[in-house]
């Protein structure tokens, strides 16, 4: 089973627009990532915040996957909630979220300690974790690699 952890793409600041939609640069970064990746998922889960929703929708167009707004993916949500859910998941899934939640979730899955920073996420980047006997980092791709 694989989980693809995605930090939302570059978005406007709260001062520019309180809803924080994606910048054109963020959309362009995602288009490059989507073209580069060769993955399959049936569900893309996001936090409900506009920038995460828009990121999920861009992936969904290419992956032909269902997009779902789910709870407990907000920036300050408890990562243990999704760590537990993912340990029971059998299908590959993509999660589009925010910092610091994604970093804490990855650390909790990989080393059972959400306070240890194991992975540095980049906006629009994808980290693939794979569960066999335990969780491992399979790969990571960030927009800067494709420029």
Would you list the domain boundaries of the chain? 2-146
pLDDT digits (tens, 9 = 90+) for 6-33: 999 999 999 999 999 999 999 999 999 9
Give the side-chain half-sphere CA count within 13 A for 50.
Answer: 12
Query: Tokens 């990989």 map to which residue?
Result: 110
Taking domain 2-146, whether its CATH number is 3.40.50.1240 is answered by yes
Q: What is the pLDDT of residues 63-116, one digit of tens each?
A: 999 999 999 999 999 999 999 999 999 999 999 999 999 999 999 999 999 999
Q: Which two tokens stand for residue 58?
A: 């861009």
- Residue with token string 């537990």: 84
Asked whether 43 and 69 are in contact (CB, 8 A), the reply is: no
Tell me, what's the pLDDT at 146? Answer: 86
């Amino acid at each position: 089973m694989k989980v693809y952890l995605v930090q939302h793409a570059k978005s406007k600041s709260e001062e520019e627009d309180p809803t924080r939609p994606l910048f054109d640069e963020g959309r362009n970064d995602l288009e490059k990532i989507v073209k580069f990746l060769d993955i399959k998922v049936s569900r893309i889960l996001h936090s409900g915040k506009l920038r995460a929703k828009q990121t999920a929708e861009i992936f969904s167009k290419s992956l032909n996957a269902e997009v779902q707004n789910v709870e407990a993916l907000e920036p300050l949500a408890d990562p243990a909630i999704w760590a537990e859910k993912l340990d029971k998941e059998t299908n590959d899934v993509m999660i589009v979220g925010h910092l610091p939640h994604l970093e804490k979730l990855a650390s909790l899955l990989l080393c059972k300690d959400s306070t240890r920073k194991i992975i540095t996420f980049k906006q629009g980047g994808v980290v693939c974790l794979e569960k066999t006997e335990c969780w491992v980092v399979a790969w990571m791709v960030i927009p800067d690699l494709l420029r």
